[in-house]
Structures are given as structure tokens and as C-alpha cells.
Homo-oligomer: A and B are copies of this chain.
Amino acid sequence: MGKAGAPEKTRTRRHANRLPAEKRISDIMLAARQVFTERGYDDALISEIAERAGVVEGSIYRFFTNKRDLLVKVVESWYEEMLEEDSAQFSAVRGTWNQIRFVVLQHLYSIRREPGLSRLVFQKLRSEPTYRATRVFQLNQAYTHRIVDIVRAAVAAGELRPDVSAGLVRDLIFGGVEHRTWAFLRNEGDFDPVALADDLTNMVYRAMAIPAEDRPDRLEKAAERLEKAAERLERLVDDPAR
């Protein structure tokens, strides 16, 4: 009903160039990313996305179910992008502290690079009741799970307290980052990713570290080694022939 309207009318059409689907899709997604970033979800117009992508509105619906789907796809690809980039570098980072700091820092960088998309994730996608069923949810899981992995490994290695909840650590980190960056996301000024990453990592690492009482203190160890060295020297001196 109302659908067909007057379907038999003659229409003038200028057929545009026939591009490979991939190119079309990436054009649309690029344009959408821009528009969503600039305007937010509600104020983003499909017509503007279409225009910037050099496509007609209807063409968008060949590839994307609806506006929300387009947003979701854009965010998905952003996550994939981030995961890919990060994982390449991440493998080179050694040490629990360094790894945590790396993840935090990359996260801060990505927020700083894409405040618009970040806001959309924080504000729109994550609060929807269907979020958990989304691929974005899974990607975000993968994204944040790196922290969990790092923590668990360090716990297993005896570096961190055995009673540390990796999940809670993850939420502290990502929640903390988010809270720390809301002002920036509201355009209220910049932040220093490196300093923040250091502070945050220190904080969290300290919370997980094995308490001094339960492990050989470094100073103590050093003293011990020094003592032993001194002893041996003394023995040598006492009995140089030996």
C-alpha cells in the first residue's frame, strides 16, 4: 500500500559508472564515517552520506539494511582497523606493565583520533539492548580482552596477585579512560595520552602487584647479594691460595 504509488511513471535517469561492489561499499563507509563523525547519528543524513560517496541514496540500501546498520558497519571496520594495527605492534612489547601501558595508550590514541566514532560507540551503540548480539560487541570484547589476557598471564607467572580479577581490571581501565576523556569528547580540551597512559597503568599495576611482604624486596635482594659477594671476597682474602 502506498508503496508502488505511481510506479509506471517514466523516469529520467543518468546511469553512473559501474564500480566494483567493494569500492562502492568502501566509498559509502568512508563517507558515512565522516558524516557520522561530524554530525553524530541523528543529525547525519543519508542524503549527505550518499552525496559525499558519489552515490544515490538508494544505492546505500543495496549494501546496508538501514542507517543504523551503516553506523554499525562503520564502527566494526574501525574496530577491525584498530585491532589489526595494534596487534602488529603489540607482539613486540615485553613485560606486563609495558603491555598494559601499550593497550591503554593505543586506546587513548584511537579516542583522540576518532572522538566522533568513540562517542557514538559509548553513547549510542553500547546502550542499545541488542548490543550484546552485535559484532561490534564481539570486536569490543576482543579489543578489551587483551587486558584480560595480559593480566591472566602475569598472574599465572606469579608476577601479579593471584586474587586479581582480570575482568574488573579491564573495566577499571576502559571505564577510567572513558571517564577521563569525556571532557575531550565534549570538545572541552585536549588530554595527554602518554601521561595518562603512564598514570593509569601505574595505578592499575600497583593495584595488582604482589605486596612487598610476600616477596623478596629488590633492595633486600641487592643487600643479600652484596653481603654474599662481600663474604666471598673475605674468604678469598683469608685463604688466597684456595
Interface residues of A (CB under 8 A from B): 1-8, 21-22, 25, 29, 41-43, 62-69, 73, 76-77, 119, 122-124, 126-129, 131-132, 164-165, 168-172, 174-180, 182-183, 185-188, 199-200, 203-204, 206-209, 211-213, 215, 217-220, 222-230, 232-234, 236-238, 240-242
Q: Which of B41, B124, B183, B233 contacts A132 (CB 8 A)?
A: B183
**Would B236 and A234 count as touching, CB distance under 8 A?**
yes
Report how far A218 CA is from B219 CA in the complex, Å: 9
Chain B residues whose C-beta falls within 8 Å of the C-beta of A126 in the assembled complex: 182, 186
**Would A188 and B132 count as touching, CB distance under 8 A?**
yes
**Would A65 and B3 count as touching, CB distance under 8 A?**
yes
Q: Chain A interface secondary structure, helix, strand, loop or mixed?
A: helix
Shortest C-beta distance, A50 to chain B (Å), equals 15
Shortest C-beta distance, A238 to chain B (Å), equals 7
Report how far A81 CA is from B138 CA in the complex, Å: 38
Shortest C-beta distance, A23 to chain B (Å), equals 12
Chain B residues whose C-beta falls within 8 Å of the C-beta of A64 in the assembled complex: 3
| Closest 9 A/B residue pairs (Cβ) | A212-B212, A175-B175, A207-B207, A175-B179, A171-B179, A172-B176, A223-B225, A219-B222, A226-B229
Closest-by-CB residue of B relative to A226 is: B229
**Would B175 and A177 count as touching, CB distance under 8 A?**
yes
Report how far A188 CA is from B128 CA in the complex, Å: 11
Shortest C-beta distance, A210 to chain B (Å), equals 10
* CB contact under 8 A between A168 and B203, given known A5-B43, A230-B232, A230-B236: yes
Chain B residues whose C-beta falls within 8 Å of the C-beta of A129 in the assembled complex: 186-187
Shortest C-beta distance, A128 to chain B (Å), equals 7
**Would B242 and A238 count as touching, CB distance under 8 A?**
yes
Report how far A127 CA is from B205 CA in the complex, Å: 30
* CB contact under 8 A between A186 and B127, given known A3-B42, A226-B223: yes
Shortest C-beta distance, A77 to chain B (Å), equals 8
A-B contact pairs, 6 of them (CB 8 A): A3-B69, A5-B25, A171-B179, A219-B219, A222-B222, A230-B233
Q: Which of B123, B175, B219 contacts A178 (CB 8 A)?
A: B175
